[in-house]
Structure 1
Amino acid sequence: MLRLVLIGVLVALASARRSPHADYVEEYVKAEGAGRYSDNIIEDALLDVPDLVKKYGYPFEAHTLTTPDGYILEVHRIPHGRDQNNTPDSNKPVVFLMHGLYSSSADYIVLGPGNAIAYVLAEAGFDVWLGNARGNYYSRRHVTLNPNGGRGNLDFWQFSWDEIGNMDLPTVIDHIIETTGQPKLHYIGHSQGCTTFLVLNSLRPEYNEKFVSFQALAPAAFFVYNEDLSYRLAAPLEAVFEEILNAVGYLEILGNREFFTFFATNFCVDGLIAEACHAILNNANPEYYNTTMTPLFLGHAPAGASVLQMTHYGQSINTKKFRRYNHLPIKNIEVYGRPTPPEYDLSKVTVPTYLHFGYADVQADYRDINYLGDQLPNLVARMPVDRVSFNHLDFVWGIDAKEQLYLKLVDIMLSYH
């Protein structure tokens, strides 16, 4: 397998960038009133991940890796803690965290030192690695293809989470093992970050031997029981939506800076749509969402994705099956040797697995997560979060996520060492 691996600390690149939506944050803060948010929050909202980690005194590395099909990924590393376990150690246990749909490595640091899971893990003695899937803000490059819009540039965006699991993850996992010298690592995924883990280990079961444990946070795989109205309304339109966007030459979603800034500035500041925007951020759970951090969250999310990632989930909702991407029958025959896509064989996912879920999560319904658990041969535990109102965004933005979840993850993973 041809693999080009470019390794290095990207100091010049990091210093030249801002957060994905820094332009919008400046407009948002201006509209809301500059005095409403602290200068520190606004600064954090404008910094990209490398500069944000370094601002708080943590060691940081950015590694660039190239997948076998030419996508250039940026992987972030916090090799040790700042206050505890703060010296380099080649024997540290390694943990890799993978973000959800439309997200990036920022999900795991925006809550800040003392609260964000990446920092909690570093202080607990882990060598922490954070992934960025192809097409998001930090991995929006290719050796030959152009990611920018237009009919001639659609090839860059011809991927779903199948390719992320089958191509991106093995590239990153192999690099981490080679760099750290540790033969195995822990894997933490949120939502789509769990989807891609299941894809990897079902299609390439030899990778099961490279993981100590799989900590699945709100895993998205099956949608058998999910009753979320937005899913049910949007899913039947998945094929039409993809066809329309193909026709206009645009397969990127929520990643284009200019489009996001225009939309959010004009529609998320005033009026009824503004209320909807805030409802999405609050996720109907304002008691555990810190509204003073809204600019920080908006600066880093969404980080972009391919329309086909969303379409693939639509197919899962429609069929109630966890299977590979459904192309036209002719292409299915070309790719899979059959007119319909095969299901992922979850019996091959043998990593010790812990399913963490919230009863109030409407995106990843707890009944579907239990259904997933029934398909896995090495399920160690189903672990509902104690707070019954814990929802999908609370896994990364909840003000009590550390107490409800992160410290438990640390205890589970340290028990293996």
Structure 2
Amino acid sequence: MGPHRVLSLFINELSEGLHRSGVHEIVPLTRSRVEWSGICSELSILSPFCTFIHFLINGPNSNYVDKKYLPVIYAHTPAGTGLHIFTQLLQIVDAERFQAFDYGSPSRNHKEYGQTTPPPYLLSRVTAPVGMFWSDNDWVVDAKDIALTASQLPNVVLNYRVPTHDFNHADFMWAETAGEQVYKPVIKFLKSL
């Protein structure tokens, strides 16, 4: 797995430090970030650095994204997320279970949940038909986690692995082949319900 596992080891310190500094959004989408995205153009000397960051976040790069489009992608992705959401995601990675937000103290957790630790989300209560779409080359959501999640959901009617072995996390959104490999199967699944 990519940097998510490493960051999860320091999530409490990281979250507290950012909160004390007045940071409430991670990687917000700003005008200056859009204006500076040209530094990631195919001809830029910094292009390899941008590609490396993309690799760290999404997994090994595939060849399914038009390289000329990367500055547009980098200008808008990621588009920001709340500190609370970012913290909970890394807590889930660290705890290795799908659970509610951990407030960091047994007394606060008890106040919020009636117990000293955050409760797990009970996927067994999800009775709606579920289609799972995943790929082998995704560093954010790996095959082991997909299998675990599928085993806890009572009504998985489709467990679809993208057939291309090097399809990564960002390819679900940006790959030129996403229409054929993901969107059409999603539409077919939704029409079957």
Report if TM-score (shorter chain) is over 0.5: yes
Tell me, in whole angstroms, the C-alpha distance in 2 between the residues paired with 1:246 and 1:351: 37
Matched letter for residue 330 of structure 1: S
Tell me, in whole angstroms, the C-alpha distance in 1 between the residues paired with 2:127 and 2:83: 30
State the match for 1:352 in structure 2: 129
| Gap regions ≥5 residues in structure 1 | 1-227
State the match for 1:285 in structure 2: 61
Match of 1:324 among 84, 88, 100: 100
State the match for 1:244 in structure 2: 17
- 1:257-307 residue CA offsets vs partner (Å, 9 max, x unmatched): 267469x569867666x5232234465334211112123323432221112
CA 1:335–1:259: 2 relative to 1, 3 Å: farther
CA 1:266–1:240: 2 relative to 1, 3 Å: farther
1:256 CA displacement: 5.2
1:308 CA displacement: 1.9
State the match for 1:136 in structure 2: none
Tell me, in whole angstroms, the C-alpha distance in 1 between the residues paired with 2:136 and 2:109: 37
State the match for 1:304 in structure 2: 80
CA contact (8 A) 2:26 2:83 kept: yes
CA 1:396–1:299: 2 relative to 1, 3 Å: same
**Secondary structure of residue in 2 paired with 1:246:** helix
CA 1:265–1:346: 2 relative to 1, 3 Å: closer
Which structure exhibits the higher relative contact order, with contacts defined as CA atoms closer than 8 Å and separated by 6 or more residues? 2
State the match for 1:362 in structure 2: 139
CA contact (8 A) 2:124 2:152 kept: yes
CA contact (8 A) 1:235 1:314 kept: yes
State the match for 1:255 in structure 2: 28
CA 1:256–1:303: 2 relative to 1, 3 Å: closer
Tell me, in whole angstroms, the C-alpha distance in 1 between the residues paired with 2:39 and 2:106: 40
1:234 CA displacement: 1.1
State the match for 1:195 in structure 2: none
1:380 aligns with 2:157: yes
State the match for 1:275 in structure 2: 48
CA 1:250–1:266: 2 relative to 1, 3 Å: farther
CA contact (8 A) 1:254 1:260 kept: no
1:370 CA displacement: 1.0
**Secondary structure of residue in 2 paired with 1:382:** strand
Aligned alpha-carbon RMSD (Å): 2.4
Q: How does 1:80-99 map to 2 (within 5 A)?
A: none
Q: Count residues with an aligned counterpart.
A: 187
CA 1:286–1:389: 2 relative to 1, 3 Å: closer
State the match for 1:336 in structure 2: 113
**Secondary structure of residue in 2 paired with 1:288:** coil
Using structure 2 for the length normalisation, give the TM-score: 0.85
1:413 aligns with 2:186: no
Match of 2:172 among 366, 389, 395: 395
CA 1:231–1:303: 2 relative to 1, 3 Å: closer
Tell me, in whole angstroms, the C-alpha distance in 1 between the residues paired with 2:71 and 2:34: 13
Tell me, in whole angstroms, the C-alpha distance in 2 between the residues paired with 1:230 and 1:381: 29
| Gap regions ≥5 residues in structure 2 | none
Which sits farther off after the overlay, 249-258 or 333-342? 249-258
Q: Which has the higher strand share?
A: 1
Tell me, in whole angstroms, the C-alpha distance in 2 between the residues paired with 1:312 and 1:350: 24
CA contact (8 A) 2:34 2:75 kept: no
1:315 aligns with 2:91: yes
Matched letter for residue 276 of structure 1: F
Identity %: 29
Q: Based on CA coordinates, which of the two structures has the bigger radius of gyration?
A: 1
- 1:16-71 residue CA offsets vs partner (Å, 9 max, x unmatched): xxxxxxxxxxxxxxxxxxxxxxxxxxxxxxxxxxxxxxxxxxxxxxxxxxxxxxxx
CA contact (8 A) 1:370 1:382 kept: no
CA 1:291–1:258: 2 relative to 1, 3 Å: same
**Secondary structure of residue in 2 paired with 1:285:** coil
Tell me, in whole angstroms, the C-alpha distance in 1 between the residues paired with 2:140 and 2:164: 17
Which sits farther off after the overlay, 307-316 or 397-406? 307-316
1:238 CA displacement: 0.4
